[in-house]
A and B are shown apart, each in its own frame.
Chain A
Amino acid sequence: MNQVDARGYSCPEPVLMTKNALKNGTPLVVLVDNETPLQNVRRFAANNGYQVTWKEVGEDYELTITK
């Protein structure tokens, strides 16, 4: 599965990494480690025609982006 580990990166890097990885198609799983990239990746995906779900995994967040 297409996956991006954006933990440890600060904004706007996680969004740019997500945008880049989406070129390889969906579903895409994105890992982030705080709420700012969680919200930013959600906004990016939702406003660019994707569906997003997310869940907490330990202290991190896992987003799943589908078309």
Chain B
Amino acid sequence: MSGLPKTADPNLLVGYDSSDDAAVYKVSDDVAMIQTVDFFPPVVDDPYTFGQIAATNALSDVYAMGGQPTLAMNLLAFPSCLPVEAVGDILAGGASKVVEAGAVIAGGHSIEDQEPKYGLCVTGLVHPSRILTNSGAKEGDILVLTKPLGTGILSTAAKAELLEEKAYKQMVELMTTLNKYAAQAVGPIALSACTDVTGFGLVGHVKEMAEGCGSTIELWAGKIPIVPKALELARDGIIPAGAYRNMDFTANDTLEDSAVPREVLDCLYDPQTAGGLLLSVPEGKLQELLTRLTDAGVPAAAVGAVVSRREKLVHIKP
């Protein structure tokens, strides 16, 4: 994106120069508009489930910015050989998540393509003083993750039909759980920063968070929730290409302690689809935050800390 011209509009509060989750535009002193778009090819065979996953993923960026989704537009590409019922199922799956988010679908656009793709363009609203970015983390903060890792590895296994039904269901459950519930549970607690864990994997998004605030972030590998089946698959080398890209992308900025098992590291780089929120909270508010999330049924865990800047931006400890 670095070659694109940067627009100088004082109302553009968050743009593409800060590698954040969505754009934010100030409409008035009380209202800012969050705008985001995301779409991708099927991660599961079932069209309705695919629609739900793609919508959960697209809506997530609004929650990651501290906002509430209000309006969504469908983006759809599909081959003419695909039965028309499948198209209806994808859209119905997506719509179910938009409704659950409390937003409305107001149309969209479809084109013919060789491979199906689906996603949403989502508009959300937030009070300008409540905007959360991925760059506001402060030394002394603790990082809280709201979903276990492993969906990239699990969906790689699912494509080859290596997942038994129980693990498949758990994967789908993770990828179709809206980050709405985690965002709501945060309530009045003032977070320093927030992002959602998606394609760059946990380490990639932590690296961006560390870059944004100029501090180092420590990750406590042993405290990070990971789906047990994903660890087992990682040991067997069922790891998507995206995880290796994420390792390359972060290698110069990351220190891995040798005591961290390889399969755990692999999961920390695993690209997530519709992953959880990563919340940076002052330590004094940590217990209250964890209690609120747990009470709301969100499987949250403290997974790291923001510390003074060291040589590497990210330090993965056992």
Which residue numbers of A lie inside 8 Å of B, CB to CB? 10-13, 15-16, 34-36, 39-45, 47-48
Whether A12 pairs with B238 at a CB distance below 8 angstroms is yes
A39 contact set on B, CB distance < 8 A: 237, 239, 244
Chain B, residue nearest A34 (CB): B241
A41 contact set on B, CB distance < 8 A: 237
Q: Top 6 closest A-B pairs, CB basis?
A: A40-B237, A44-B237, A43-B237, A36-B241, A47-B235, A12-B238
Q: Which of A10, A13, A36, A48 contacts B236 (CB 8 A)?
A: A48
How many angstroms from the CA of A42 to the CA of B162 in the assembled complex?
19
Q: Does B309 interact with chain A (Cβ within 8 Å)?
A: no
Whether A12 pairs with B160 at a CB distance below 8 angstroms is yes
Whether B238 pairs with A15 at a CB distance below 8 angstroms is yes
Whether A43 pairs with B244 at a CB distance below 8 angstroms is no
Q: Which of A10, A15, A34, A35 contacts B237 (CB 8 A)?
A: A15
B152 nearest CB across to chain A (Å) = 11
B236 contact set on A, CB distance < 8 A: 15, 43-44, 47-48
* Count of chain A to chain B residue pairs whose CB atoms are closer than 8 Å in the complex: 49
Chain A, residue nearest B238 (CB): A12
Docked complex: B232-258 residues within 8 A CB-CB of A: 234-241, 244
Q: Is the interface of B mostly helix, strand, loop or mixed?
A: helix
B239 contact set on A, CB distance < 8 A: 11, 36, 39-40, 43
Chain B, residue nearest A36 (CB): B241
Whether A36 pairs with B160 at a CB distance below 8 angstroms is no
Chain A, residue nearest B248 (CB): A35
A10 contact set on B, CB distance < 8 A: 241
Docked complex: B150-170 residues within 8 A CB-CB of A: 156-157, 159-160, 162
* 13 pairs, CB–CB < 8 Å, chain A vs chain B: A11-B238, A12-B157, A12-B162, A15-B238, A34-B241, A39-B244, A40-B239, A43-B234, A43-B235, A43-B263, A44-B236, A44-B237, A48-B236
How many angstroms from the CA of A13 to the CA of B234 in the assembled complex?
14
Whether B160 pairs with A13 at a CB distance below 8 angstroms is yes
B241 contact set on A, CB distance < 8 A: 10-11, 34, 36
How many angstroms from the CA of A66 to the CA of B244 in the assembled complex?
25
Q: Which of A12, A43, A44, A45 contacts B156 (CB 8 A)?
A: A12
How many angstroms from the CA of A47 to the CA of B233 in the assembled complex?
11
Chain B, residue nearest A35 (CB): B244
A11 contact set on B, CB distance < 8 A: 156, 238-241
Chain A, residue nearest B245 (CB): A36
A54 nearest CB across to chain B (Å) = 13
List 10 additional A-B contacts (Cβ < 8 Å) besides A12-B237, A40-B239, A43-B235: A11-B156, A34-B241, A36-B240, A36-B241, A39-B239, A41-B237, A43-B234, A43-B262, A44-B236, A45-B237
